[in-house]
Every structure is written in structure tokens, then in C-alpha cells.
A and B are shown apart, each in its own frame.
Chain A
């Protein structure tokens, strides 16, 4: 699914990604951990095609993240660390997602309903005016409705209360077993039951990569 070969990304003379090698197989559920500044977000952004590598290469289903970004991103759902203060209204955001990614607006609304978020009632509200929890649920609903082969979450539950967090993980456990998932997280105990791989990064390197029983 995803292949990272000898990837190096430098910011201001430090290797934020320092010769990273990683192969993610179909169906892998990964907890990506490590101290702040380890390079987790940078790795994910390189996979999503936001950064050009200084050397090495990345392939997502055989596609190049920057040269073939549309093909790469068709297969990925991404949820950022904190919900961005998007100024579009919910209905505009839904239009954007459904047209750009070929998702039915209905299926986003259904996913949201499963987390007790009523989209219809909020259609005219700007996204940034929703509460923290509602924003996160909206992003999660979009990510799940996209039915991607790869899900990438950068600390997805930071803004959720414990109940919503449980709901979220319950939804994830229903995912197709073929879907590959990367969770960046500080709380292993939360995702422990969902993952089959635990990867630790520090100073731009992968320092530990072990498979665990599901």
C-alpha cells in the first residue's frame, strides 16, 4: 500500500526525516508514536504529498505523492491534529468533499448520525463556529464516508469527550479489515485493541517497529 524508501526530509539543516524506511501492507493498523518533534507529522505529510523529499522516495499504491497527487489522495482519508478553522459553511464543505472526492453527501450525513451529530441542523453554520467535538465528528464522518483504502489520523481524539471517543473507536472497529490505518497518538491504551503494529519514532528515525497480536 505505502512504501517509504530511505526518505530524507531536511528543515534548516536538520534531518526531520532521517533515512526512514517503512512498508505498510494492506490491512495494517498502525499506532505511530514518539516524542514531540520526532517527525511523525512530517512523515505523514510527506506521504500526503505536502513535502518534497530531499532524497529517497515514497509510493502510495505505486503512485508518487507529489507528481500524482490526485491518484494518491483518492485513496487516503486524512484527519489533522486539530480541526482547522474552515470558514466554509457545513453545506459548502460537504459540497467540496462530495464533488472533489466523489462521495455522496448522504453518506457523510449517515456517518455523522452514527456519532450523534445532526448535520441537517447545522448546514448553514460556518464550520469554525461548531464546538470542538462537533468539528472533530464532522471530520471523522467525512473521512469514513470517503471509503478510502488508507486512513491517516493525526491524534484524532484530542478534542473528544470520553463517550465520543468510545463511539469513534467503535466505528473504527467496524472498518473493513483490508483498510490500512495510521494513528498518530500519545495514548497507546486507546488504540491498543485496534492496532497490529506499533511504530516508535525519535529524531526522525524509526526506532522500533513491532507487530502485536490483535
Chain B
């Protein structure tokens, strides 16, 4: 158990020094900070009545870059460790695979979620400075969405890294996962609906299973109670589930999916050859 914390701590220290973290912090941290700051400033002006253009853009950018960033950097660093024999050396010490795997997971999670947290704090400080009434609910729920989104993609990344040994195949698979999930957000789903080739229920199920779409609909529902920027699939989902239900689902489902993949990854890590 003591090694769990040790592995997590060393992984965090290592990440903080790495180039990818610097870029991530810069790009994503800045993005989130802008998001919270504008969100709060907007709310001063009009209260959280409408999702401003800008907020919408930030959210879409998050949907696109967060997953690919998490997937690529995580998969890359794990398979690089394997190929350069770092894994072989580190695992020649008496550390249980459980401590190693989950320690790495905790380390990664901390590092990925950290910029979001930082931005949140920044947003709140900014809001206080501007004298705005801080929309705690909205901020906390949105942070929970991002937390859940991080969880899904970290889970998938660890899963891919343990079942695929080759660096190139692992990177390729991450890319495919990302493209497929992006393809099945509202826009593509509308296309399918219009073609009338598949039943609406089927399309709705796809939407509900896609963590990116779930995040998207959840975020829109959160920021835009009037649902002005919503696609038909999103509209249908909110209409059927009700807003509260859907917000809960948008937090729990990605968390569950992430945990499932993380656990499957752990299972194969134990059952298959390590190198």
C-alpha cells in the first residue's frame, strides 16, 4: 500500500518536468481559465441565462482537445517506458502490480485534472474581484463533468497501453478511438437521423453511450437552460430524461466507463506478459 503513494508521487514529479505537461498546462489551463473567467463575467451581466458564443467555443474545443491530449500523452509515456526498458527495471523491484498500476493512474489523474482545478480557482478569484455572484453550482457541476471526462479517457488510455505492446499500434488505436467518438456527436447523429436508415432509438442509444456526446449535452444543459444551441439529439435526450437526471447521468456514466476500462486494463496487466 505504501508503494501506491510512492509511485503516484514519483509519476507526478516526473510529469511536472515533462514537455507535454508544460504544453498541456498552457493550452488547456489557459482554455479553462478563459472559460471560467468569461463565464463568470457573463453571469455578472446577464446571469447565467444564455450560453454565450464564446463559452460554446471553449466547450467545443475542450471536447476536441482534452481527449486526444490525454490519450496520446498517456499511451505514449507508458509505451515509451516499456520500449526503453524503464518498465523492466522499475518492475524488477518488489512492488506489487496493483500498487504500480493504480499508483500510475492516480499520478496521471492528478496531473491531468490539475490545470482544470487551477483554472477553476482562478475563475472564482476573478469573479470575486469583479464582484460577481459566483455560480457555485454551475462551476462545480462543470468541473465534475471535466473530471468524469478525464476519467474516461485515462481509463481508455491505460487499457490500450496494457493490451497493445507496440508503440505505433497503441498510438494508432488511440487516434481511432478519438475519431470515432468525435464522429458520433450531434452533427453526425443528425445526419443519420435524417437518412432514416436507423431507428431513432438506436441513434439515441449511441448518443447515450458516447461519453463525448454525454459531456456535450450535459454542458449545454448546464449553461443554457433555454436550450437554444442544442441539436435535435441533445434536445430529445433532455426532454426524455429531464435536466436533473441527465446532469447526474453525465457525471456518473463517464466515471463508470472510465473505471471499467481502467479495471480491464489492470486485469490484463496482471494476466499478460509485462514486456
Contacts and interface: CB of A to CB of B under 8 A. Distances in A.
A92 interface: yes
Nearest to B77: A87
B196 interface: no
A97 B84 CA distance: 19
A169 interface: no
A51 B84 CA distance: 17
A96 B272 CA distance: 25
- Give the size range of B's interface with the partner: 20 to 34
- Residue among A72, A82, A84 having the largest count of chain B Cβ atoms under 10 Å: A84
B10 A88 contact: yes
A50 B10 contact: no
B89 to A, nearest CB: 5
A85 B86 contact: yes
A45 interface: yes
Given A85-B86, A100-B3, A70 B94 contact: yes
A149 B132 CA distance: 66
B128 interface: no
B91 A99 contact: no
A78 B92 contact: yes
- Residue among A48, A82, A87 having the largest count of chain B Cβ atoms under 10 Å: A87
A182 B226 CA distance: 72
Nearest to A82: B85
Interface in B1-52: 2-3, 6, 10, 13-14, 17-18
A69 B3 contact: no
Contacts of A73: 92-95
B239 interface: no
Contacts of A126: 17
- Residue among B2, B6, B272 having the largest count of chain A Cβ atoms under 10 Å: B6
Given A69-B94, A81-B85, 7 more contacts: A70-B95, A78-B92, A80-B85, A95-B6, A99-B3, A100-B95, A101-B93
Interface of B: 2-3, 6, 10, 13-14, 17-18, 84-86, 88-97, 271-275
